[in-house]
């Protein structure tokens, strides 16, 4: 499992955090959407820090698509890899869209790869 920490500032972020958690809960059942296992608050470590919301997602040991691209040393990914990633992302988006929702933040940092090269959309 993988944990994602989100620093919470009072009230202003509460609505967006709730939207993200609802999104993860609703769509994590699809093979191309990272599984959501839960969320919990962690108290501030110091007086100067804010509370932290830990979101527990499926572990994606292959890292993000962004990491993969940055490891190519200026080379582009092979066309077969690009096609594979696009096809799998589109499957996940189709699942989300047929449930009348929109992701709103598709980017290489939110496309994760498992250790067996399965493609997962995260929020």
- How are beta strands 52-57 and 36-42 bridged, if at all? antiparallel
pLDDT digits (tens, 9 = 90+) for 67-81: 999 999 889 999 999
Q: Where are the domains of the chain?
A: 2-121
Q: Nearest-CA neighbor of 64 among 101, 9, 109, 5?
A: 109
pLDDT digits (tens, 9 = 90+) for 78-103: 999 999 999 999 999 999 999 898 88
At residue 70, the pLDDT reads 93
pLDDT digits (tens, 9 = 90+) for 25-62: 889 889 999 999 988 887 777 777 667 778 888 999 99
At residue 10, the pLDDT reads 53
Residue 105 designated active-site: yes
Q: Please name the fold of domain 2-121.
A: Transferase(Phosphotransferase); domain 1 (1.10.510)
Task: Give me the catalytic one of 14, 54, 105, 115.
Answer: 105
């Amino acid at each position: 499992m993988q944990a994602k920490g989100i620093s919470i500032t009072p009230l202003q972020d509460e609505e967006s955090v709730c939207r993200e958690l609802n999104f993860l809960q609703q769509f994590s059942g699809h093979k191309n959407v990272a599984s959501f296992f839960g969320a919990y608050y962690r108290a501030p470590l110091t007086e100067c820090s804010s509370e932290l919301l830990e979101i527990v997602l499926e572990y994606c040991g292959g890292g993000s698509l962004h990491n993969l691209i940055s490891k190519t040393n200026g080379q582009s990914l092979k066309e077969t890899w690009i096609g594979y990633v696009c096809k799998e992302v589109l499957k996940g988006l189709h699942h989300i869209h047929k449930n009348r929702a929109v992701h709103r933040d598709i980017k290489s940092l939110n496309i994760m790869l498992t250790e067996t090269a399965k493609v997962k959309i995260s929020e």
